[in-house]
Amino acid sequence: MQKFTTDRLIIRNFRETDAPGMLEYLANPRVNCFLSERLSTLDEAIATASERSQDDSHLAVILKETGALIGDLFCMKEEPDTYSVGWHFNPAYEGVGYASESARALLRYLFLEQEARRIYAYVEDDNSRSQKLCEKLGMRREGCFMEFISFTKNEDGTPKYENTQQFAILKREWLDQGNV
DSSP character for 157?
S
CA distances from 44 to 4, 34, 57 (A): 27, 15, 19
The string of DSSP codes covering 25-66 is HHSS-SSGGGGGG---SHHHHHHHHHHHHT-TTEEEEEETTT
pLDDT at position 36 over 90 = no
Region 152-162: mean pLDDT is 83
Give strand pairing partners of 4: 11
Q: What integer pLDDT is reported at residue 133 of this predicted model? A: 97
Q: What integer pLDDT is reported at residue 148 of this predicted model? A: 80
Rounded-to-integer distance, Cα 8 and Cα 49, Å: 22
What tens digit of pLDDT does each residue of 62-104 get? Answer: 999 999 999 999 999 999 999 999 999 999 999 999 999 999 9
